[in-house]
Chain A
Amino acid sequence: MARGIKDKVAILGMGCSKFGERWDSGPEELMVEAYLEAMEDAGIEPTQLDAAWFSTHIDEIGTGKGGTPLSVALRLPNIAVTRVENFCASGSEALRGAVYAVASGAADIALALGVEKLKDTGYGGLPVANPGTLNPQLTPNGSAPGNFAQLASAYRAKHGVDKDDLKRAIAHVSVKSHANGAKNPKAHLRNEVSEEQVMNAPMIAEPLGLFDCCGVSDGAAAAIVTTPEIAKAMGKSDIVTVKALQLSVSNGLESQHNSWDGSYFHTARIAAKKAYAEAGIENPREEVSMMEVHDCFSITELVTMEDLFISPEGGAVKDVMDGFYDSDGDVPCQIDGGLKCFGHPIGASGLRMAYEMYLQLQGRAGERQLPNPKIGLTHNLGGAPSQNVCSVAIIGAHDA
């Protein structure tokens, strides 16, 4: 195994815009909002940036292709800007690029910034994808909820879970995230909901109702990274470092080979194992303090608890119902509201997850601050259960 990234890179500063239906802002304004906060947090000048990684998924809606949208919006000093795109995990890709640049020594200080402006489509939900010339001739005219909902049918079939029991468990996933999101001033959705409300909401894609689906939001998030040594030299204390950054990408096995049963994420399990190995974590259920996972849909979060080896196989329903992942549970999950309530501006989401872990680790999470967390995990997924990319990152206190 490679030597890995553990503790080679520190987070110098982070920023995150208010997420939501930002009718007042285009992608430029959102980028600037996240950038200025991150720069102030880092305490550096633009000229200190050596390179930038820029993530945005849907270039058709406003933001555009290439590195120029970021460079122009932030008036960067003509440094290298690389646009990355990896579906809904694009934000984690930007972070990966910046972290690797610092770890390699090619850059002393690097910027990762992700943005998505989704509310210029004219309709609710994610924009209709346009995936090339062959796929539209073969694949259903589906939607994200329709693809992720299929986890539920396969999970029920595999574990013999009653339809109503699973519906209630995924409802609890959303209830918990709404309760958390209500405490987050930057969150898109800040209302608490009851299990009954979730279960009786209009159906979007069976069995997912309206409250089983995450917010479709505008927003941006940014990270500035450097080496722990430079951070210390700049007088930073409570240094947060990257412990692991792993990405696993489907090779078509799930969608083309009958060895996959449709109830879990093949890539998530691979990325999680590698991330734990990289970070030196042996018992994730005990060692991980908190998580921000890719809860694009409630069922995604539920099966992910098993894919990350926090819940035992087939045990996620019980853990969820026991409150294991609630804010006062053993491993609080989506403490900032998650994609569900903080929102899901696609290119920003991976960085938003890291932002919450960073704030929590530095004790700056306000009303939702957890007691003394040491290790945070982010799980950022892109694509559909049958074909996807999955990023698992672990960040923690430098001395953890």
Chain B
Amino acid sequence: MAQNTIGLKAFGGYIPRLRLQRKSITSANAWIAPNLVGKGKGERSMGNWDEDSLTMAVEAARDLLGTDEDRSHIDAVYFGSTTLPFSDRLNSGIISAALTLEESIQAVDVSSTQRAGTTALLQALNGVSGGVNKEALVCAADHRKARAASAQELEFGDGAAALSVGSDDLIATFLGSHTLTVDFVDHFRGSGEEFDYGWEERWIRDEGFSKIVPKAVAGALEKTGLSASDIDHFVMPCTFARLPQKLAKMCGINQDAVADPLGAVCGETGAAHALVMLVYTLQNAKPGEKVMLAHFGGGCDVLIFETTDLLATMSSKRGIVGSLADRQEETNYMKFLTFHGLVEWERGMRGEQDKKTALTTLYRNEDTVMGLVGGRCTETGVVQFPRSRISVAPNKPTVDTQEPYKFADRKATILSWSADFLSFSMNPPNHYGMIVFEGGGRIMMDIGDVTQGEVDSGMEVRMVFRIKDFDDQRGFKRYFWKAVPVRNAVPAAQAAE
């Protein structure tokens, strides 16, 4: 039982807009994988070519944080993922830079297990509980690859969730947790390997889930003094049909408490999925409900929360419900394979350009590149991107008057644009244009998540943190910001119905 009252303060979610229709996968692979044809139902989320676990985590965190520029209240950030873009470069540090969090922040990557998301959350709860941190941000995201014609290709999805942990203004109180660590290898991904290697499903179901989960659940119930029938929402990622219901029954949890694993509309988002399902559940939950969160993998984490009246304050969040409503059907399986690097395709000579990044330049301009921070002249009020010693103000180029000015959360529109078929693009045509910001400033930037014919001058856009370039030669990725259309997504409450 937690010593003092701590819990969740807010949530955010992000599911990429593209939804690959599973039928497009199974029909393309029917010749080689006829056993999977029956699984060609529903859709799975699919990151665009410029999305990875890190960019998705940033988007989920931005949903959580809102547009308030003051983010000094966050003093720790945890990032749980099994698809960290860097093995040795602090991934949570990149998130911190993109979110323009304070330098004094504690940033931690949690990986190597499907429980990375729940473990990151537990670590954040421990930090706040122990008084080390006041408010911790937890992000979880995964962007897993699977071989063509594999079951995983159909089951997996891409997505991210974010939670903040603190001790006041809680939307859900943390009641307690229990963790089992068991080296049960249902699947593994060797260091440096791209794909999972899995064992027989029946063994995973019977010896894994069915024995480890009930034991962990029982431990959590015992620690919190709750009975299984108290649980209103049983949130547990699982791709086996009907298994969550069976596990609930084994644990004594009501059948109607079993949360939708979102397989039909999203797919399993790996280490993020417990948190993705939790956010989805919180968006549909009522105050005073008990939510059990479990994630199986190398053992099992079980956490129990109780929602509060403040849950209603989260109604404006996009979360997972809003993300799922903002969707674009993708039926081109080849595009999916190409985005995942599973096809050797002809990029043309323009695709040969060396994308080596000058790390000195990157560091010198860190808040410009990573945080989309420009400048505002303290004398004229003129804002600009990027900052410069001499300001761009027409007829009054003041010197050394620029203070940092954040652009990432400001309203913007497209002034001029083109859809370029000539330059190299992972998803042609290459859309880019001059983006003008309300309140001043403009940036010539990439326009993402659009289809041909959709863009026009005057279109409202918002900023997203994305991969700018891949440096395949050195294993580096450049990140920067792009403009995407502001779409009138279905209001969260309506979409949930």
Contacts and interface: CB of A to CB of B under 8 A. Distances in A.
Interface of A: 121-123, 125, 128, 130, 133-134, 136-143, 145-147, 149-154, 156-157, 202-206, 208, 251-253, 255-259, 261-263, 385-386
A257 B392 contact: yes
B150 interface: no
Contacts of B429: 203, 205-206
Given A137-B369, A140-B444, A154-B457, A145 B349 contact: no
Nearest to B353: A128
Interface size class of B (residues with CB under 8 A): 35 or more
Nearest to B358: A133
Contacts, number: 147
A166 B456 CA distance: 15
A189 B436 CA distance: 39
A188 to B, nearest CB: 19
29 contacts: A123-B350, A125-B422, A128-B423, A136-B355, A136-B357, A136-B469, A136-B478, A139-B444, A140-B444, A140-B445, A141-B423, A141-B424, A142-B432, A143-B423, A146-B420, A149-B420, A150-B434, A153-B457, A154-B415, A154-B434, A154-B457, A204-B422, A205-B418, A205-B420, A208-B418, A255-B434, A256-B441, A257-B393, A262-B415
A156 B422 contact: no
Contact of B349 (A122, A136, A140, A157): A122
Interface string B396-435: 0000000000000000000111111111110001101110
A205 to B, nearest CB: 4
Contacts of A151: 416
B37 interface: no
A152 B417 CA distance: 9
A258 to B, nearest CB: 5
Contact of A140 (B440, B441, B442, B446): B446
**Interchain residue pairs A-B with the least CB separation, the first 5:** A146-B420, A150-B416, A149-B418, A133-B358, A140-B432
A140 B420 CA distance: 11
B394 A253 contact: yes
B431 to A, nearest CB: 9
Interface stretch (B135-143, B198-206, B233-241, B378-386): B378-386
Contacts of A252: 388, 392
B361 interface: yes
A157 B445 CA distance: 19
Nearest to A158: B457
B458 interface: yes
Contact of B416 (A136, A154, A204, A251): A154
A209 to B, nearest CB: 10
Given A153-B433, A256-B441, A258-B436, A145 B420 contact: yes
Contact of A204 (B360, B386, B421): B421
A212 to B, nearest CB: 12
Given A123-B350, A252-B392, A257-B384, A147 B361 contact: no
Contact of A145 (B388, B422, B440, B456): B422
B96 to A, nearest CB: 18
A234 B480 CA distance: 62
B349 A143 contact: no
Contacts of B368: 138
A262 B434 contact: yes
B362 interface: yes
A205 B365 contact: no
